[in-house]
Chains A and B, each alone.
Chain A
Amino acid sequence: MSKRIDVKDLNVYYSKFLAVEDVNINIEAKSVTAFIGPSGCGKSTFLRTLNRMHEVIPGARVEGEVLLDGDNLYGPGVDPVTVRSQIGMVFQRPNPFPTMSIRDNVLAGVKLNNQKISKGEADALVERSLQGANLWNEVKDRLGKPGSGLSGGQQQRLCIARAIAVEPQVILMDEPCSALDPISTLAIEDLINDLKDQYTVVIVTHNMQQAARVSDRTAFFNIAGTGKPGKLIEVGDTHTMFSNPAQKATEDYVSGRFG
């Protein structure tokens, strides 16, 4: 239940403005890949192109190829909806649906698509997904309560449960811990560690310690200056990236000399 992603010569534009230039990267299946880099260098923009979520932003478009186990996401006739059901996403701010209960939030991917599911199957799916997101024990007695009543960290894990309930191949996380306290962050990081047994995980983070803790491979993005496109500087094994990077810019960034 996980696929690899290969990106070839990808450029991302906002209308005419080139936001991310010429990215080539291979994301291994069943591993955690972290994107680090200063603000505005295009990490999140690039992440969104991996499941075509950038298309929600007016004017955003890409050139190049993103291959999910060899299939181009941007090939002719590919439906973005199909892409997104294979590649799930967790956002910076927890965003459970306020009109739904905890249970319905987990089942949202199934119910919103009007797929028929028996009550027994639904119960099993809810339990499996919440277990998978390390949230089951905290909410099993109040599945009928609104999801917005949970704490921020619990809401974020609910969003992860919601994402894994549709059984995607890849999970993208856009700074999933930036709005959370250290304890909730730890819970999410533990969860990411568990998730990589089954899923391909890509995480954008501003926190270099977090990247070092959770990821197998790290990609460093940088930007030459305002108005210039963001670029992928270097990608490699996380340990190497933090101890002995090939590029000077990477070393300066991970050692805290700038950014």
Chain B
Amino acid sequence: MTSTLTPVQKRSALTKGQLPKWAPYLVLGTALILGAAILALIGFNAFGWGIVSAILFAAGLVGWSAIVEGSRRAKDKLATCLVVGSFLVALLPLISVIWTVLVNGLPGLMDPGFLNTSMNGVTGAFDNKSVEEGAPVVGGIYHALLGTVQITLLATVISVPVGLLTAVYLVEYGNDRTLARAITFFVDVMTGIPSIVAGLFAAAFFFAVVGPGTKTGAVAAVALSVLMIPVVVRSSEEMLKIVPNELREAAYALGVRKWRTILKVVIPTAISGIASGVTLAIARVIGETAPILVTAGFATSINTNVFSGWMASLPTFIYTQILNPTSPSNPDPSSQRAWGAALVLIILVMLLNLGARLIARLFAPKAGR
């Protein structure tokens, strides 16, 4: 009787000639240690350490792979390193910005009354006192927050009808006519207009129509809608274009008129995309500084009327607090308020982006069974 012993196979024949799973980690560890050692020779800094380690890691992993696995897999590893590396490089500034704003902005945001008081009556004396005697920083961004919300809302009310109707014309009635092509061209040009030019346009327009020196929230809203309309047109146009022609034909075949088809079939089918496009357009203009500066000025007190008087907004609030601190001798409280406002602005934009996703999901045609 012979008993056949099955040899205990550590690795399958099919995975021969591959690097083990832990190889990248080993190379990473080695690269980090080596990188630290090299940097120690020329003076250590974290940034250089990251760069040197990344290069060592890529070279080590690709080299090892070339020896063990052959050139095809080595090239694959090289491409992976490049892709991941580029991703990290692209992500770095974003994370750095968010981190900086978070660290610098949180103390401001934590101040009692930061969100519900204005800068009305806050003078340099208060700031001097807070720096010299440790009193809490007073004043807040309520007026600026309110101004931003009012100006952006009015800009949206102006831009959405104009933009959506333009998109409807281009997609449904344009038929590649000269007028449609001209509109498409000028919308593209408008997309590239520097925001300060939009501000100057609105200022000049109201100067001519209402009178010299007209600076109100409404002027700023007009300036912002000049920036917003092309974005709304573009996104709505794309959304209307992807509505299948079959749905239009189905409606026509039922004896439905064209304008009713557009109103009741085409726009409802595209509404989720249109709504999220509008939200992203709002997020795009909410942080504009220059056009608001030349159209709404800057205020320190609450103004609830967009049609009269200067009005503050978050970006201009940040700008003035940094450039002209409330107390020139002690600028720290002002810069704390500016960072706090910046954090609020980033949170607003983030919420708008989340809102856009939510809207897209909420309005999307459902395929329930």
A residues engaging B (CB < 8 A)? 51, 53, 56, 58, 81-82, 84-86, 88-89, 91, 93, 95-99, 108-109, 111-114, 142, 145-146, 148-149, 159, 162-163, 166
Contacts and interface: CB of A to CB of B under 8 A. Distances in A.
A163 B365 contact: no
B360 interface: no
A162 B254 contact: yes
A99 B269 contact: yes
A56 B258 CA distance: 10
Contacts of B368: 145-146, 149
B264 interface: yes
Which of A51, A81, A91, A145 has the most B CB atoms < 10 Å from its CB? Answer: A81
B369 A98 contact: no
Given A56-B249, A97-B265, A145-B368, A113 B255 contact: yes
B246 interface: yes
Among A84, A108, A112, A145, which residue has the most Cβ atoms of chain B within 10 A?
A112
B257 A89 contact: no
Contact of B255 (A56, A82, A97): A82
Given A98-B367, A163-B254, 8 more contacts: A56-B248, A85-B255, A99-B268, A99-B269, A108-B254, A112-B265, A149-B367, A162-B250
B56 to A, nearest CB: 54
A84 B254 contact: yes
Contacts, number: 89
B260 interface: yes
A85 B254 contact: yes
A45 to B, nearest CB: 14
A112 B264 CA distance: 7
Given A98-B269, A145-B368, A51 B247 contact: no
Among B250, B264, B265, find the residue whose CB has the most chain A CB atoms closer than 10 A.
B250
Interface residues of B, number: 26
Contacts of A99: 265, 268-269, 365
Majority secondary structure, B binding face: helix
B365 A53 contact: no
Contact of A146 (B175, B255, B269, B365): B365
27 contacts: A51-B253, A53-B252, A53-B253, A58-B175, A81-B256, A82-B255, A84-B253, A85-B254, A91-B246, A93-B246, A95-B247, A95-B250, A97-B247, A97-B250, A98-B269, A108-B251, A112-B256, A112-B265, A113-B254, A113-B256, A142-B369, A145-B369, A146-B365, A146-B367, A148-B365, A149-B368, A163-B253
B175 A109 contact: no
B194 to A, nearest CB: 38
Interface string B347-369: 00000000000000000011111
A146 B364 CA distance: 12
Nearest to A52: B252
A83 to B, nearest CB: 8
